[in-house]
Structures are given as structure tokens and as C-alpha cells.
Amino acid sequence: MKKVILFANPSRDSGLTCLENVKKIADGCGVAYDVIDIANHTGPLDNGADMAVTFGGDGAILRAARVLCALGTPILGVNLGHKGFMAELEPGETSLVALAFQGKYTVENRMMADVSLFHEGRQVLRDFALNEAVVRGLNRVIGVNVYGDGRRIMGFDGDGVIVSTPTGSTAYSLSAGGPVVEPTARSIIVTPVCPHILSARSYVLSPERAVTVELRQLRGKAAYLSVDGGDSVPLFSGDRIEIRRSALETRLVRLTGKSFYENVNSKLGERL
């Protein structure tokens, strides 16, 4: 390995202690590095790096994925957050980064989703998600219809709906009552948020499905779209949000041999 990106995260890495430890490891392995502030970098990034290391929770990995997935750059996460489902290492395991810099790692590919917003029949936004696309009312109940390949799946009044990837199944979708899906699976999960009917339940769909969320009449209520926890985009009556499997994938570095089941049991509080 010749070069890596180290995504600095001062808000999570107090005194940049973990960053400095990894810089020393890189120096010892003869690996060059660029240090980039993850909070202030938004555009594409192509500096020829063989790997990126993030410091923080899943949010840090989500931000790194947005600028790196088109390049296929593997991402190694060091968890300095609360749950950190996607991160491979805990703070006390940073010495293992040396194995990654020596090429002794595997890569886990994660499905992503393309998200398109249509207003009055015209596409006004295109984005992509590693976790989910969320349609929600702003402190008010809204009405939505959900379709799969143009066929109606459900319609309900409620707080909104989450359309997630398997990676996102352990994020907001899980809190809303959705299923835990193995992250290397290929599927699209549709989870209603506080629906006002008993029949509205979470669906796990084929990755080939094109899911459409349609806003009913809002009657002056505010609603928004958020992709991977990003900026809220205002929505209007009749707007359609289309979500489908992306050609892009996020590549996560694996070093420790921890299973997904171990992570779920540990990070969701179960002690065996």
C-alpha cells in the first residue's frame, strides 16, 4: 500500500489522539497519507489513495462513502461514536491498522441506493444513499402512497416512511420497527414511521424493485426528504421520490473477523 486518506474528525477525536496514532503507524509502514477534515469536505475526492480511514461513528463513514464510492476506495472505520455498526475497529484496536496498511484485510461490499426527487413531473434532485432515504412530515402527520415497480404496496397517514438498504436496516429503520437485515444482502427495505393503520408493515423487497413514495395532499403541512441524514429538502403535494439499487457500492475494510451477529448483540445491548 502506497497512500491513504485519513479523515480527521476533531468533534469525535478529542485532541486528534487516534489520528496521530494512525499517522505514526503509517509512518512505520512507509505509507504516505493525506489528512482531510471530514466535516468540511463535500465534493468528489480522487488523490490516488489505496484506502481511507475514518474516525467517528457511522456518520463519518457515510460522509466518506459519499466522496469515495465512485472510486471504489476501501474505507476502514475507527469507531468513536455511540453504535458504529459499520466501523471495524474500536479505539483500543488502532494498532490493527498496521495490518490493513500491509494489505492483510478483506473487503465487504455494501449495496447503495439511487434517490431521485420529481416535482410536477420534473426531476429536481438526484442523490445516492448508503443507509436510507427518509420522507417525513415536520411535526405533523402526512399521507403517503408507496409503490413497487408501479404497483401499490401501501398507503397511509403517519409520520412518514423510510426506504433503506440492508446497511441502513440497523439505523433509523430499526428504530421505527423495521427488520434487521444482514448488511451484505441485496434488498430494499420499506418501513412506515408511526402509521395510523395496523396494516402498514415493513417490507423487504427484491433489489430489482423500483420503489416510489408519493406525497398525498399536504394541505399546508410541511414535509421533507433527507438522504443519509443530510440536509432536509422540502417536499410538496404530489411529489414523487424514486429509490432503486445503485450501480455504486461502498467497500468496507474488514480486519478482526467479528461477525455481524456479534456486532448486533454487542451494540444493541444484548449480553450473552
Catalytic pick among 58, 159, 228, 239 = 58
Where would I find the beta strands (DSSP E) of the chain? 3-8, 32-37, 51-56, 75-79, 106-119, 122-129, 132-137, 142-148, 151-158, 160-164, 188-193, 203-205, 211-215, 223-227, 233-235, 240-254
Chain center to CA of 80: 17
State how far the Cα of 25 lies from the Cα of 22, in Å rounded to an integer: 5
Chain center to CA of 62: 5
Grid coordinates given for 232: 432536509
State how far the Cα of 232 lies from the Cα of 134, in Å rounded to an integer: 9
58 is a catalytic site residue: yes
Query: For residues 2 and 33, is the Cβ–Cβ distance under 8 A?
Result: no
Largest CA distance in the chain: 62
Grid coordinates given for 156: 397511509
Give the burial class of 75: count Cβ atoms within 10 A of its Cβ; 0-12 exposed, 13-18 middle, 19 or more buried. Answer: buried
Residues identified as active-site: 58
